[in-house]
């Protein structure tokens, strides 16, 4: 299979594995990713996984993904270059985005692939992604199962890669006009300025700061901000903070 046949020029699709417990799962994920045209493998970990164990599961066909794998110490660093990220999680809660199946998520996610850097993020086998990890993502996907839910990491990777692969030809065309969406680095800077401005006017307090910022993130994620729009919001917040600071200065 040609691993780029569904990928337009300048597109980058990556897997981000956050603190996986077993190197074999990394290797199996690399093999699956290569089968479905995913070009990059990123692992968030504090130590180098066992390369021999990874390569054994990756097989020689996907060995290059292990050799070229990028490692970061934090999820925020791993997410920084990407314009759009799908978080995969079985955990639900009041502060988590609305549950969507992989098929539905990929139908919305795939049109954003052309000309952008995008990723699918998976959490540790035993705990899944944290709320802070999910905050860095614009989509959340949950695999629907019967009452017994026990899919391993490689199985979850296979389902999501397959769903994306099958929908890409219908929504992505090499001549489609691409949009310069804000990447994670742009968005995190914007959210920092929004938080500073809202703290300045006491809209945010210690007791509700995390709750409201998470809601603001989820709202703005649905808008799919472009780079210049994120920059504009940052500029407004900076000006607002400057005026508030000047207003509070003693005469």
Q: Kindly state whether residues 91 and 191 are assigned to the same domain.
A: no
Q: Kindly state whether residues 60 and 161 are assigned to the same domain.
A: yes
Centre a 10 Å sphere on the Cβ of residue 41 and count the other Cβ atoms it contains.
26
Q: Kindly state whether residues 28 and 142 are assigned to the same domain.
A: yes
Q: What CATH number is given to the structural domain containing 65?
A: 3.40.1280.10
Q: Kindly state whether residues 194 and 143 are assigned to the same domain.
A: no
Three-state DSSP string of 51-79: HHHHHHHHCHHHHHHHHCCEEECCHHHHH
Q: What CATH number is given to the structural domain containing 189?
A: 1.10.8
Q: Kindly state whether residues 26 and 115 are assigned to the same domain.
A: yes
Q: What is the model's pLDDT at position 149? A: 63
Contact 186, 230 (CB under 8 A): yes
Q: Kindly state whether residues 79 and 150 are assigned to the same domain.
A: yes
Q: Kindly state whether residues 143 and 38 are assigned to the same domain.
A: yes
Closest CA to 47 of 76, 68, 19: 19
| CA pair distance 42, 69, nearest whole angstrom | 6
Closest CA to 136 of 183, 79, 211: 79
Domain boundary among 148, 171, 194: 171
Q: What is the model's pLDDT at position 61? A: 92
Query: pLDDT tens digits for 3-48?
Result: 444 444 446 899 999 999 999 999 999 999 999 999 899 999 999 9
List of residues 6+ apart from 77 with CB closer than 8 A: 44
Q: What is the model's pLDDT at position 161? A: 97
Evaluate whether residue 61 is within a structural domain.
yes
Domain boundary among 137, 171, 205: 171
Domain boundary among 118, 137, 171: 171
Evaluate whether residue 6 is within a structural domain.
no
The whole domain housing 243 covers 184-248
Q: Kindly state whether residues 165 and 47 are assigned to the same domain.
A: yes
Query: pLDDT tens digits for 84-125?
Result: 999 998 766 555 556 789 999 999 999 888 888 999 999 998
Is the C-alpha dihedral spanning 106, 130, 95, 213 positive or negative? negative
Helix (H, G, I), strand (E, B) or coil at 207: coil
**What burial letters (b/e) apply to 145-183, b meaning 16+ CB within 10 Å?**
eeeeeeeebbebbbbbbbbbbebbeebbeeeeeeeebbb
14 burial level (CB within 10 Å; 0-12, 13-18, 19+): buried
| CA pair distance 173, 168, nearest whole angstrom | 9
| CA pair distance 34, 95, nearest whole angstrom | 34
Centre a 10 Å sphere on the Cβ of residue 248 and count the other Cβ atoms it contains.
8
Evaluate whether residue 235 is within a structural domain.
yes
Paired tokens of 222? 């649905």
Q: Kindly state whether residues 155 and 46 are assigned to the same domain.
A: yes
How many domains does one find in the chain? 2
Pick from 25-34, 47-56, 195-204: least confident: 195-204
Q: Kindly state whether residues 25 and 101 are assigned to the same domain.
A: yes
Q: Kindly state whether residues 70 and 148 are assigned to the same domain.
A: yes
């Amino acid at each position: 299979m040609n691993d780029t046949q569904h990928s337009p020029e300048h597109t980058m699709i990556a897997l981000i594995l956050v603190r996986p417990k077993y190197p074999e799962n990394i290797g199996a994920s690399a093999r699956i990713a290569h089968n479905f045209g995913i070009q990059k493998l990123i692992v968030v970990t504090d130590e180098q996984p066992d390369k021999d164990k990874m390569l054994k599961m990756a097989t020689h066909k996907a060995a290059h993904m292990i050799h070229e794998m990028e490692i970061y110490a934090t999820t925020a660093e791993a997410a920084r270059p990407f314009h759009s990220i799908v978080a995969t999680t079985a955990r639900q809660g009041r502060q988590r985005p609305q549950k969507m199946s992989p098929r539905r998520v990929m139908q919305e996610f795939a049109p954003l692939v052309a000309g952008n850097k995008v990723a699918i993020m998976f959490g540790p086998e035993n705990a899944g992604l944290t709320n802070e990890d999910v905050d860095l993502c614009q989509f959340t996907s949950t695999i629907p199962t019967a009452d017994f839910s026990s899919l391993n990491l490689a199985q979850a990777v296979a389902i999501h890669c397959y769903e994306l692969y099958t929908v890409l030809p219908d929504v992505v065309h090499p001549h489609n006009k691409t949009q310069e969406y804000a990447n994670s680095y742009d968005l995190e800077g914007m959210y920092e300025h929004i938080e500073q401005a809202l703290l300045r006017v006491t809209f945010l307090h210690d007791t509700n700061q995390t709750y409201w910022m998470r809601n603001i993130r989820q709202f703005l994620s649905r808008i799919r901000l472009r780079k210049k729009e994120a920059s504009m919001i940052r500029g407004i917040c900076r000006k607002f903070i400057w005026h508030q600071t000047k207003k509070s200065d003693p005469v």
